[in-house]
Amino acid sequence: MNRRQIDKIIVHCSATKAGKAFNAVDITRWHKERGFVTIGYHYVVLLDGTIEAGRPESQIGAHCKGHNARSIGVCYIGGLDSNGNPCDTRTPAQRRAMRQLIDSLRTRYPSAKVIGHNRLSAKACPCFDAESEYESSRS
């Protein structure tokens, strides 16, 4: 199998209000409406901690301009408070699932750095400091 060279795991939020349940099918629809071929992320973490697959890891994502070719995109549902302001809205189940997913990705891509979308683009996403939170995930 011809694997892509991955040097970043980029963490995103869906920029949806806290507690509103969406999934990879919804994001696929939103991305297609914006002209994407399909969902831009490789993984979506639902409110209950379920991890849904988006694009296959073997395919280049469409989640962070200029960084897609060498990255994996992980998105959690949420990121906005009830007033629509950026906020870390991850549920305890999402926090656990994201930790497990990122640990698994780091096992497969040991040289990859975990980074928040906001470090690469002028956005609030993912609405928390992904680098600090997942620094201890390094094996």
Enumerate domains of the chain plus CATH numbers: 8-133 (3.40.80.10)
List CB contacts of 46: < 8 A, sequence separation 6 or more.
Answer: 21, 22, 23, 52, 77, 94
For the chain of 139 residues, list the mean pLDDT of each consecutive stretch of 10. 83 96 97 95 98 96 95 98 96 97 95 96 94 74
- Of 13, 31, 41, 109, the active-site residue reads 41
| pLDDT at site 4 | 87
- Of 75, 87, 125, 127, the active-site residue reads 125
125 in catalytic set: yes
Question: What are the backbone angles phi and psi of residue 94, rounded to the nearest 5°?
Answer: -65, -40
12 in catalytic set: yes
113 in catalytic set: no
- Of 17, 20, 113, 123, the active-site residue reads 123
Q: Does residue 42 contact residue 54 with C-beta atoms inside 8 Å?
A: yes
75 in catalytic set: no
pTM, two decimals, is 0.94
| pLDDT at site 3 | 79
- Of 8, 12, 31, 42, the active-site residue reads 12
